Structure 1
Amino acid sequence: MTRWGITLPLPGVPLPAHRELVERLPELGYTDVWTAETSGTDAFSPLLLASQWSSRLRLGTAVVPVFTRGPGLLAMSTAALAECAPGLVALGIGASSPVVVEQWNATAHTQPFGRTRDTLRFLREALAGKTVSATYPTFTVDRFRLERPPAAPVPILLAALRPGMLRLAAAEADGAITNWLAPTDVPRIRAQIGDELELVAPVFTCVTEDAREARRIGRMLISSYLTAPAYRGFHDWLGRGEALAAMHRAWDTDDHWRAIAAVPDEVVDELIVHGGADECRARIRQYVDNGLSTPLIALLPTGGDPVEQVELLAPCRD
């Protein structure tokens, strides 16, 4: 089954002002609402609001960093959301990045693979209502037990880019969440995780027929994200190392404006969906046709009304 998600909050829209849209999302063909967590809203608050506005949407995090909350607090936050939306919560966790973890949250970003693996294993036990006393390779928990465990199982998805984490997701998680990929990249991810595992990914979407403006926005984002070590390695693995080499050389010398200018048009066009609404919907459909289970439309600010854009991109229009 293909699910259709929207990433909230929308750019420029206050959190309380999303109510009417969230109530209408199922009629528009959307099945899911997902959140991210960097320096805007936290991942859980928008979903708690959405749980009170609709009982028909799955609510997912894409993703919660495993370093910025203790294991117990992460379990409690998840259980609280699951109590508000029984059977409708999907927890996406991931290692995040040194910028988010160390520079913005004053926490060491060490052993990211191990910490993600160990948090997944802890959450399996804790969200099932078990008492957890365990020494994991990256942390120890002593006699933790949720007072209000979820009434229904909460699927856990792993943020995964390269083969190691993708294989961990396939072996131990309920799904994988990847990021910053083109439709043609999806089969390579599927080759690592198999055909059955749920695969979720944000699809960055610029609803504008001004290609120059869409590429300007795209270059800014690509140079900010894909210069991070994890994403740099991911796109080297996907085969974009040569296309992005000039961007990386400029970024490595702190010449960020030159790095932005060095992002090729063809890379922007691969990774950013842009054009009129019909063109954008067709492009998003290519992700699904290539094996993406759950596209999460992540609207980029174009100056247009984002609520109207959500309506124009609605799956019911296909």
Structure 2
Amino acid sequence: MRRRLPPLEQIEAFIEAAQAPSFRVAAERCALSPAAFSRRIQSFSSYVGLRLFERRPGGLRLTPAGERCLAELKPALLELRRAAASVARRNDEALSVTLSLSHSLAVGWLIPRMDAFRAAHPEIELSLKTQRGASDLRCGEADLGVCFSDIDLTGLVSRPLLSVTVAPVASPEVARSFKARGGRLERHRLLSVSQPPDMWPWWARETGLAAELPSASTCDLLHAMYEMASEGFGVALAAAPTVWPHLENGRLVRLDLPHAAFPGGYHLVAPADRRDRAPVEKVWRWLEFEAERTPDISRARIAA
């Protein structure tokens, strides 16, 4: 009797878990609760009959069996998605465009500009897929994307779009405390993100700060770090352009400390066959226009 394949959502959950910095982030990407996500991983592990993850310092990691499983399944899933997208692809005159970009860039930069996009191009239906890599572009599920420079863009059409600068920010209350306590970071709780790691030591080296900084509390998501800082839990090392909504509404203010340019930046990316579509061209040009209007964090008001 032929053995039935596991449900596709279990395979997708396993691949997300293998690539995400934590199961919590992978569950968010799959729009599942942590409990539901864990059940999918357990069901898939039972189907395979092997231990796919093991606990190590820093969290769960793939076992050798899990690594082999990922190497076999990921290309197959991408090919299946590509085939499905090819079957369902609309003709070249379709006025729908799917844009792939990270969660932090979607929330902190693009979504606040969506009203402007609808005003400029009411004829285009723009859908978003929040994913950090380029797999949605390669498998045909996205028409264009905005990817950070550490993403492999081989075979895709790309151009630089947004540079990234970082600077310490805090809630107005914490900013006042920072100034009253002599402007010393080592006297405050520091907040950072898990990826990329060691951002505070990097910033200190880049800006020539001689003080020895305490270890930072980390968040998986950039937006979660901004929310923690806005609620007064510490000083965050913010990245422009994604921090601007919090600066503009006053929930965060920039401290009287130097900023630094982060290596690399965001690139505008598209598969060559999608780049030529008229609706994609319009979205591409609009994104370029908005990027040119995005201010550098050096222009943010420093807390009095």
| Structure in which a larger fraction of residues adopt strand | 2
Q: Which has the larger radius of gyration?
A: 2
- Would you say same fold, with TM above 0.5? no
Name the TM tier (shorter chain): under 0.3
